[in-house]
Chain A
Amino acid sequence: MTLFLLTGIMILTYAMLVCHRIPALIQNFRLQSLFLFLVTLDFAVRQKEAGVFVVAGLLLLVKVILVPSFLNHLVKKIKVDERLGLFLNPLLSLIAALFLTWGAAVFCAWLVSDSPVVVFAAFVVSITVVMVGFFIMVFRMKAITQIVGLLVMENGIFLLASSIAGGMPFFVEIAIAFDVFICAIITGIFMYRINKVFTHIEVHRLTDLKG
């Protein structure tokens, strides 16, 4: 079951790399968060702890419903060109992501060699998700992709914490969920301002402050 969900996260992570348009990217992020929620729910059912259920509920509320809706709303509001602006075409991105996955697998095999296959898979998937988040931030042009990349990285770290370390303390999880939400709102506000001041949101053209 967990392996199936992890595979879902992996596929959606790759899907994020090949999509061309902003709504597709946000939709993929929403689905990835949904799968992450299912993983957490699965974990909560097996642990039978009320706290983990609350954390899963918060994940559903913040990352599946609120943040993607907010981003969609923002994209509609600033009326920007829907294309993502790729520095690296989807095929090459996918190949790079496969290499990142391979690297993550080698790293994890070296780190946790004698653990059950589920733990190993969760480790590899979460490291890959963090790497792909980085990749999206670096190789896409629009400011919104940096927000999504950051959220993807956060997803990966959450998966890492919940599957390897058995989750963080309850209040810390709640505070982090709150924090992610605030962070998304504030970066959203700044994106709106960038659009107003520069009339575009292409990060590679923000070069006034280059040293």
Chain B
Amino acid sequence: MLLFSIVIIPVLAAVFSVLLPARLRGTANLAAHGVLLVLAGLLAYRISGGSGIVAFGGVLRADALSAFFIFLISLVNLAALVYSRPYLQEDIDGGVLSVRQARGYDILFNVFAATMLLVPLLDNLGHMWVAVELTTLASAFLVGFYNTKASVEAAWKYVIICSVGITLAL
């Protein structure tokens, strides 16, 4: 249940980002990622007591290394979320971004968080490969978010380099 909720919370947050208005969205996202950090701490505590946790008939599995990575990812996620809120607000006030684009940012951020958290939890190397590729694809839109020359160029190079790397890893 714990592993499942770690993956499903960012997915739910992405869904809520589609539905909720701007003000509630910020609070909901902060709450979701705060809960994630707490769950990551709980996972680390449970793991430290003994062996790994398995869920879904062995599809998901957590050991000490995945607990470490989950904790790290959720910590960075929370920090990025706290930082990006006023950052984006400034761009919205300055007219660089529309409110709709900011919503897109929240959705992509949560999808990216979900794929990132999925990677250390999967028990099959092939599934893990797919999840890693999904992180690349989800974050590509975040890299090209501002849609300027530099960001589109960066996103293109990022996507191509990462895809070639991951293809060779297969």
Determine the chain A residues whose CB is within 8 A of the CB of B141 once the complex forms. Answer: 186
Q: Contacts A183-B137, A186-B159, A187-B163 known; A209 to B153 CB distance under 8 Å?
A: yes
The A-B contact count (CB < 8 A) is 81
Give Cα A161 to B130, complex, Å: 16
Residue in contact with B126 in the complex, picked from A146, A169, A203, CB distance below 8 Å: A169
Give Cα A206 to B163, complex, Å: 18
- Is the CB–CB distance between A171 and B127 below 8 Å? yes
Query: Could you mark each residue 174-200 of chain A with 1 if its beta carbon is under 8 Å from any beta carbon of chain B, else 0?
Result: 011011001100110011011001100
Determine the chain B residues whose CB is within 8 A of the CB of A179 once the complex forms. Answer: 130, 133-134
Query: Could you mark each residue 125-142 of chain B with 1 if its beta carbon is under 8 Å from any beta carbon of chain A, else 0?
Result: 011011001100100110
Query: Could you mark each residue 120-143 of chain A with 1 if its beta carbon is under 8 Å from any beta carbon of chain B, else 0?
Result: 000000000000001001000001
Determine the chain B residues whose CB is within 8 A of the CB of A42 once the complex forms. Answer: none
- Is the CB–CB distance between A197 and B152 below 8 Å? yes
- Is the CB–CB distance between A168 and B126 below 8 Å? yes
Among residues of A, the one whose C-beta sits closest to the C-beta of B59 is A171
**Which residues B112-170 have CB closer than 8 A to chain A?**
124, 126-127, 129-130, 133-134, 137, 140-141, 144, 147-150, 152-157, 159-160, 163-164, 167-168, 170
Give Cα A134 to B127, complex, Å: 25
- Is the CB–CB distance between B126 and A197 below 8 Å? no
- Is the CB–CB distance between A193 and B160 below 8 Å? no
A-B contact pairs, 5 of them (CB 8 A): A150-B164, A172-B129, A183-B137, A187-B159, A190-B144
Chain B positions near chain A (C-beta within 8 angstroms): 124, 126-127, 129-130, 133-134, 137, 140-141, 144, 147-150, 152-157, 159-160, 163-164, 167-168, 170
**3 closest cross-chain pairs (CB), A and B:** A172-B126, A175-B130, A206-B153
Chain A positions near chain B (C-beta within 8 angstroms): 134, 137, 143, 146, 150, 153-154, 157, 161, 168-169, 171-172, 175-176, 178-179, 182-183, 186-187, 190-191, 193-194, 197-198, 203, 206, 208-209
